[in-house]
Amino acid sequence: THFGYKTVAAADKVSLVANVFHSVAAKYDTMNDVMSLGIHRLWKRFTIDCSGVRPGQHVLDLAGGTGDIAALFSRRVGPTGKVVLADINESMLNVGRDKLRDLGLINNIEFVQANAEALPFADNSFDIISIGFGLRNVTDKAAALKSMFRVLKPGGRLLVLEFSKPEQQWLSKVYDMYSFKLLPVMGQLIANDKESYQYLAESIRMHPDQETLKAMMADAGFAEVSYHNLTGGIVALHRGYKF
């Protein structure tokens, strides 16, 4: 698999990603707040607002991790709806399950350990699928997008929230400094784990930009794919429909 800057064998990437998220799980929420200055909460809220979610709907939050996005959806689909939080990593799922239970969100949420590349759900199961800061960790992104398309109901929509390419060059420079210099140091200080945050910076740098991801979604079958840049393009929200 080619990632632009270096070549990593697929099997190596899978175990690398697994180790990263096992080791960051306990500190994941704290690090998110510190590293993004709390702005990730706004990105996630924007995602829900763009989803058009309604009471009673079935939502899949893929690579759901510690459950921020699933929690927001849970409140919106209400007691007649359902949210499935799926993630490949048991440690992240455990942190998410405990957190959502503490928030009192238990009646309409299910937790499933699953790989985005081969989703264990029937065709046409969900009204909405979200994947937040997850796609860049997936080895075979084309397979994952196809799998999402398959389990989405006709008329359903996919929302991909992910790091992307800053629109302005100066922002890109500042952001590179931040992610390659400061982020690993912060990872070391707060989570005693420099390597995981180095991986994070590299995975952000290698992730497809706005137009590339848009084309990948169209290739997987999604229609009317569009995106919205957030925080100057540091993050983008892509949306596509299954018709």
How many other CB atoms sit within 10 Å of the CB of residue 158? 25
Would you say 69 or 220 has its CB closer to ligand SAM? 69
CA atoms of 158 and 128, how far apart (whole Å): 6
User: Which of these, 32, 178, 152, lies nearest to 92 by C-alpha position?
Assistant: 32
Binding residues vs ligand SAM (CB under 6 A): 17, 21, 63-66, 68-69, 87-89, 92, 115-117, 132-134, 137-138
Residue nearest to ligand SAM (CB): 65
Task: Tell me the CB-side half-sphere exposure of residue 213, using CA atoms within 13 A.
Answer: 26
DSSP string of 183-198, one letter each residue: HHHHHHHHHS-HHHHH
Would you say 63 or 100 has its CB closer to ligand SAM? 63
| Residue 87 annotated as binding site | yes
| Residue 115 annotated as binding site | yes
Q: What is the closest distance, in whole angstroms, from the C-beta atom of residue 212 to ligand SAM in the complex? A: 19
Would you say 13 or 153 has its CB closer to ligand SAM? 13
CA dihedral 25, 45, 127, 165 (to 10 degrees): -80
DSSP state of 143: H
Would you say 148 or 225 has its CB closer to ligand SAM? 148
Q: What is the closest distance, in whole angstroms, from the C-beta atom of residue 221 to ligand SAM in the complex? A: 19
Sign of the CA dihedral with 75 first, then 102, 70, and 210 last? positive
Would you say 117 or 127 has its CB closer to ligand SAM? 117
| Residue 19 annotated as binding site | no
Q: What is the closest distance, in whole angstroms, from the C-beta atom of residue 194 to ligand SAM in the complex? A: 17
| Residue 61 annotated as binding site | no
Q: What is the closest distance, in whole angstroms, from the C-beta atom of residue 133 to ligand SAM in the complex? A: 4
DSSP state of 106: -
Q: What is the closest distance, in whole angstroms, from the C-beta atom of residue 176 to ligand SAM in the complex? A: 19
Give the 3-state secondary structure of residue 233. helix
Cite the annotated binding site for S-adenosyl-L-methionine by residue number.
66, 87, 115-116
Cite the annotated binding site by residue number.
66, 87, 115-116
